[in-house]
Structure 1
Amino acid sequence: MNIDFQGQTVIVTGAAHGFGRAIALAFAWNGASVWACDLNDSGLAETARLAAHDGLTIQTRTVDVGDGAAVQALVAEVAAATGRVDVLVNNAGGVLGQVGRPLEEISAADWHAIFRVNVDGAFLFAQAVAPHMKRQRSGRIINISSGAGLGISLTGIQAYASAKAAQIGLTRQLAHELGEWGITVNNVAPGFVRSNPTTELQWESYGEEGQRKLVQGIALRRLGTPDDIASAVMFFASAQAGWISGQVLSVDGGK
């Protein structure tokens, strides 16, 4: 399969580490003009440095994905600079440092904070790129959810499981709304991957026995990597996936 993004413009959110960084680098390696955003300035700088080490360029911008004006400004800048927006990867998300607690202890602020980055961000970016993709009559939107959105959160964080399920619902709805313009909207649902400081803490919290049980519950008997997730995104963004939309692909080693 020849996957090539020469001449295409790609926006990747949450690109300061983990999945987002791997996705941004993969698009750059495959010829795309990549614009990566996050709130983590130092992480973004490292993403750009890794690209430069391989002779590639990734444009980075500090953006709060829950800020509609900032999202619109970034997309307008990208479109003005390159003349098009071909691929949007909504990767920004996570648990924002929260841990599992009983339902009655969850504040409204904590609940809404997780929805803001995981759902609002995906909605706002899709809303911003849609006019450009409609004008081109082509585009790819790929949302990164989680196995938690299809089942339960391993950490017991109610808002995270709910937000990722909502993001999957948004994926399916937008696929039907935008399809007539040649825009596909799909979703990658990763299994557990040690990809950032939060997942490292989660992994350590399981202890040796819990880690063994988690790996034994995976058909391939290994944890995934950020590159495994990036590979799924490359497929959904490619010409080979031109008649696939509204789908959720679990990339979890087999459950």
Structure 2
Amino acid sequence: MTDLSDRTIFITGSGGVLGSTYVRRMLEAGARVIATDLPGHRAEALQDTHGDHENFGFYELDVGIEDQVTKVFQRVLEDGWKPNVVLNNAAITGEMLMGAGKPFPDFADTSVEDFERTMRTNLTGAFMVARQMDRDIVGKWPCTLVNVASMYALNGAHHPIYDGMPFKNFSAYGVSKAGIHGLTVWLAGYWAGRQATVNTIAPGAVFNGHSEEFQRRVGELIMANRMAQPDEIADVMLFLSSAQAGYMTGQLVNVDGGFSAW
């Protein structure tokens, strides 16, 4: 098992299907974990599950609000944490927008408000977290940033698989995730002389209660012929967060069952 006992890991969007898996697996690997998320049932579930763990801390954070990003890092440092790994994992998906009570729009009906809200969280939020790293962490001790993209970061969506489904592929999501890797390669060079590495992980289609029909449609596009389980993405995230990935920087790692290779 990957040993993360020398790691203190700051994770945004910790309450989702992947974020909560990262938290669990990293605690199991010996890391100290600083989980952040919006207030609500996901945050409560994290604290109910891990609140008694000596290596776990939770802070409320909306990565789209600049003042919150600045203040959460100040609080983390004041509380004695010394993060040396940061995971830019927070993201808005189309399903989340629909879950807020909105019908899923066709592209022609996509509002500028929803597009910009998604970009604000997924890309501008990642920038603000990285900028705060630059101010508070980078150069003070060796550290790493892992930006979370998607199988749709550098590959177009296969729109027919969404026909008749209650959700569609949301344009702003793919656009923001492509920008995430642009942020990675820019920062990798900028931080190269300051003992800081930056990489992108691009998860594939992760199972989260999807219908059998949707699983079949997606599976036909994937060499592995199935969706991923969250722990399969976490396996690679643990490696990227560990000392064993110390010679990697500026890279995009696809964990997509072969989707991007076809």
In the alignment, which residue of structure 1 is the partner of 2:76?
A: 78
Which structure 1 segments of 5+ residues have no match?
Answer: none
* 1:142–1:236 contact (8 Å) kept in structure 2: yes
In the alignment, which residue of structure 1 is the partner of 2:162?
A: none
Amino acid in structure 1 at the alignment position of 2:131: Q
In the alignment, which residue of structure 2 is the partner of 1:97?
A: 97
Runs of 4+ in 1 over 6 A off after TM superposition: none
Q: Matched residues in 2 for 1:56 and 1:49: separation?
A: 14
* 1:92–1:118 contact (8 Å) kept in structure 2: yes
* 2:147–2:201 contact (8 Å) kept in structure 1: yes
Amino acid in structure 2 at the alignment position of 1:89: L
In the alignment, which residue of structure 1 is the partner of 2:205?
A: 192
SS at match of 1:26: helix
Match of 1:132 among 130, 136, 156: 136
Distance verdict in 2 for CA 1:171–1:100, change over 3 Å: farther
In the alignment, which residue of structure 2 is the partner of 1:108?
A: 112
**Shift of residue 86 of structure 1?**
0.3
Q: Matched residues in 2 for 1:216 and 1:149: separation?
A: 19
**Shift of residue 83 of structure 1?**
5.0
Q: How does 1:52-67 map to 2 (within 5 A)?
A: 55=53, 57-67=55-65
In the alignment, which residue of structure 1 is the partner of 2:238?
A: 234
In the alignment, which residue of structure 1 is the partner of 2:33?
A: 34
In the alignment, which residue of structure 2 is the partner of 1:243?
A: 247
Task: Give the aligned length.
Answer: 244
Is 1:181 the counterpart of 2:194? The answer is yes
**Shift of residue 7 of structure 1?**
4.3
**Shift of residue 60 of structure 1?**
1.3
Q: Matched residues in 2 for 1:213 and 1:163: separation?
A: 24
Q: Deviations for 1:194-237, whole angstroms, at most 9, x for unmatched residues?
A: 23xxxx4xx33xx62x4323223322223211111111111111
Q: Which moved more, 1:129-138 or 1:240-249?
A: 129-138
State the TM-score, normalizing by the size of structure 2. 0.85
* Percent identity of paired positions between Structure 1 and Structure 2: 28
Q: Matched residues in 2 for 1:136 and 1:22: separation?
A: 29
Distance verdict in 2 for CA 1:104–1:216, change over 3 Å: closer
Amino acid in structure 2 at the alignment position of 1:172: V
* 2:4–2:30 contact (8 Å) kept in structure 1: yes
* 2:89–2:147 contact (8 Å) kept in structure 1: yes
SS at match of 1:149: coil
**Shift of residue 67 of structure 1?**
0.8
SS at match of 1:34: strand
State the TM-score, normalizing by the size of structure 1. 0.87
Q: Matched residues in 1 for 2:36 and 2:81: separation?
A: 19
**Shift of residue 56 of structure 1?**
5.3
Q: Matched residues in 1 for 2:221 and 2:114: separation?
A: 31
Q: Matched residues in 1 for 2:226 and 2:15: separation?
A: 25
SS at match of 2:169: coil
SS at match of 2:126: helix
Q: Matched residues in 2 for 1:222 and 1:233: separation?
A: 20
Distance verdict in 2 for CA 1:62–1:153, change over 3 Å: farther
* 1:133–1:183 contact (8 Å) kept in structure 2: no
Which structure 2 segments of 5+ residues have no match?
Answer: 159-167
Q: Which moved more, 1:37-46 or 1:140-149?
A: 37-46
Distance verdict in 2 for CA 1:100–1:45, change over 3 Å: closer
In the alignment, which residue of structure 2 is the partner of 1:169?
A: 182
In the alignment, which residue of structure 2 is the partner of 1:46?
A: 45
Q: Deviations for 1:93-129, whole angstroms, at most 9, x for unmatched residues?
A: 0323257644332221111011011001111111112
